[in-house]
Chain A
C-alpha cells in the first residue's frame, strides 16, 4: 500500500472507531417512519417523498460529516501532536493531505452506499417492486458524493491555516454561496452596473457551482439525467478538487509547524 493509501485507510478506521457510522441508525429509522406514514398523510407522492426525503437525508448527513470531520482532519493531528511523529517518517506533507482527503471520502462513500441500500429497500417496500426509472436515484447519489468531495477538499484547505470554528464558517459559507451561483451571475440585472457584473461573473466561476449536482427533483420524478452531464460533473468535481487540494498542499507545505 502506498503512503497515501496508509493514511487514507487509517483515517477511515479512525472514523469508524469514532462511531461516525452510527448516523445510519438515524437514517434507517427515518426511512422506516416515512415508509409507514407517508401513504397515510398524503396523496400520490409515496415514492416521490421517499426519494426526495432519502436523498435530502443522504445529502445533509454527508454534508455534516464532510464539514465537521473535514475541518478537524489536520487540526486534530496538530492539536494532539501526532502530526509531528507522522511527518518525521518518510511521508511528504501533500501525501498526508491527500491521504486524509481520500480517507474521509472513503468514509463518506461507505456511509452513502449504506444509506442508498436503505433508500432502495424502502422504495421496494412501498412500491413492492423496483423500476428502471429508479436507477436515476443512483445518479443523484453519485452527484451528492461529487459534491461532498468538493466540500471535503474545501474543509481540508481551511483546516490547513485556520481554527476549526472558522473553517466550519468558511466551508458552510462557500457551500451556501455555491448554491446561488446563477443568481450571482445575474447581479447586473439588479444593479445595471457592467463593471460589477464582470466582477460578479468572475467571482461566480471561482466558486464551486453546487447547482450542477442538484438532480434530486429529476430523481424523485424518475426523469433521466443525460450521460454528458454525468461525465461533465465528474470532470468538474475532479478538476475543482485538484485545484483546492493543490492550494491546500502549498499552504500546508509552507506552514511552520514549530
Chain B
C-alpha cells in the first residue's frame, strides 16, 4: 500500500517535470529545424521532363501539388520579407511542364516573378518569358496577352512591346474590345495615369485572389493619390509664390481657405508635408508601403539594366 502511494507521488512529480522538459526540448528542436528548413530550401527534382516521367499518368495532379507549393513558398517568403525567391521559378517551371494548361499558374506566377523584392521575385524578364510560354501552350486564351502587355507596361516600361502584346491579344475572337483601345493608347501616349488606372482595375476585376486584388486595389489608390498630390503641390506652389515662404502646415492652408479640411489619402490616412514643402504619404499608410516597394523595384531594375549592372 505504501509502495503504491510512493509510486503515485513519484508519478505526480515525474510527469509534470518530464513533460515540461519535453516541452522545452521540443521548442529547441523546432528552432533547430526551422533554421535547417531555411537552409534546405530546395526543390530536389528540378527536371520537368524527369518529374513528368516519374509521375506516370498523374502529372495533372502533381502539377496542382507543385503549384500549391509555389503559392505556399511565395506566401512564406513574402511574409518573411525575404530578399530572394530562388525556388519560385523551379516550382513554376515544374507545375507548367507537368500541366501546360494550368492557366492559373501562368497568370499569378508571372506576377509573383515580376514584382520587385520583397513583394515578389524581382525577375520581370523571366516573367515575360513565362507568359510567352503560357501563350505558346494556350494560344486560345487571350487573357495571357493582357498579362504580357501589363508586364511590359508596368514592370519593364517597354511601351512599344506592351502595345504589340495588347494588339496581338485583341486579334483573338474572344478578346474584349478594350484590348485594341489599350494597344492604340499605349502606342500613342506611352505611360499615362489613365491607362495605368485602367490596367490595374482590369487586374482587380479579373481575379478572385485576395492578395492580387489587394495589390491591384492599392495601386489604383496610389494612382488616385498621385493626382491628389499633384493638386496639393499646385496649391503649395501658389502659396509660396504669394507669401515667399512655405506654409507651417496644412492647418495654415485650411485657415486661409485654400483647403476645405485636412487632406486624406484614398486609404484614409492624412497626407504629410515635408520640410522642403513636398506632399508625402503618412508612413503608416498602406499606399506608402506600395509606393516604397515600387520605387525600390524600379531602382533595382535600373541598376540591373545599367551597363555593367
Whether, in the assembled complex, B99 has its beta carbon less than 8 Å from a beta carbon of chain A, the answer is yes
Inter-chain contact A217/B60, CB cutoff 8 Å: yes
Q: If A42-B68, A44-B209 touch, does A179 touch B57 (CB 8 Å cutoff)?
A: yes
| B63 contacts across to A, CB distance below 8 A | 52
Inter-chain contact B61/A45, CB cutoff 8 Å: no
Inter-chain contact A48/B102, CB cutoff 8 Å: yes
**Interface size, chain B (Cβ < 8 Å):** 22
Inter-chain contact B71/A42, CB cutoff 8 Å: yes
Inter-chain contact B64/A59, CB cutoff 8 Å: no
Within 8 A of B (CB), among A21-55: 38, 41-45, 48-49, 52-53, 55
Whether, in the assembled complex, B72 has its beta carbon less than 8 Å from a beta carbon of chain A, the answer is yes
The 8 Å CB contact of A176, one of B56, B64, B72, B108, is B56
Inter-chain contact A52/B71, CB cutoff 8 Å: no
Inter-chain contact A214/B57, CB cutoff 8 Å: yes
A210 to B57, CA, bound (A): 9
- Among residues of B, the one whose C-beta sits closest to the C-beta of A38 is B68
Inter-chain contact A59/B57, CB cutoff 8 Å: yes
Q: If A44-B108, A44-B208, A44-B209 touch, does A216 touch B67 (CB 8 Å cutoff)?
A: no
A221 to B72, CA, bound (A): 22
Within 8 A of A (CB), among B58-96: 58-61, 63-64, 67-68, 71-72
A224 to chain B, nearest CB (A): 13
Q: If A43-B104, A44-B104, A45-B64 touch, does A216 touch B71 (CB 8 Å cutoff)?
A: no
The 8 Å CB contact of A179, one of B56, B61, B108, is B56
Inter-chain contact B99/A217, CB cutoff 8 Å: yes
A177-199: CB near B (< 8 Å → 1, else 0) gives 00110000000000000000000
Within 8 A of A (CB), among B22-74: 53, 56-61, 63-64, 67-68, 71-72
| B57 contacts across to A, CB distance below 8 A | 59, 179, 210-211, 214, 216
| B99 contacts across to A, CB distance below 8 A | 217, 220
| A59 contacts across to B, CB distance below 8 A | 57-58
Inter-chain contact A221/B101, CB cutoff 8 Å: yes
Inter-chain contact B101/A45, CB cutoff 8 Å: no
| B209 contacts across to A, CB distance below 8 A | 43-44
Within 8 A of A (CB), among B140-186: none
| B68 contacts across to A, CB distance below 8 A | 38, 41-42, 45, 49
Whether, in the assembled complex, A56 has its beta carbon less than 8 Å from a beta carbon of chain B, the answer is yes
Inter-chain contact B101/A217, CB cutoff 8 Å: yes
The 8 Å CB contact of A41, one of B59, B71, B101, is B71
Whether, in the assembled complex, A223 has its beta carbon less than 8 Å from a beta carbon of chain B, the answer is yes
| B103 contacts across to A, CB distance below 8 A | 221
B82 to chain A, nearest CB (A): 19
Inter-chain contact B71/A223, CB cutoff 8 Å: no
B102 to chain A, nearest CB (A): 7
B225 to chain A, nearest CB (A): 28
| A48 contacts across to B, CB distance below 8 A | 64, 102, 104
A60 to B61, CA, bound (A): 12
Inter-chain contact A52/B64, CB cutoff 8 Å: yes
A55 to B63, CA, bound (A): 14
A59 to B58, CA, bound (A): 9
A221 to B99, CA, bound (A): 10
- Among residues of A, the one whose C-beta sits closest to the C-beta of B53 is A180
A212 to chain B, nearest CB (A): 11
Q: List 22 A-B contacts (CB under 8 A).
A: A38-B68, A41-B71, A41-B72, A43-B67, A43-B71, A43-B104, A45-B64, A45-B67, A45-B102, A48-B64, A49-B68, A52-B64, A53-B61, A55-B61, A56-B58, A176-B56, A180-B53, A216-B60, A217-B99, A217-B101, A220-B60, A221-B103
List the 10 shortest-distance A-B pairs measured between CB atoms, nearest first: A44-B104, A42-B68, A52-B61, A49-B64, A52-B60, A217-B60, A56-B61, A214-B57, A56-B58, A216-B60
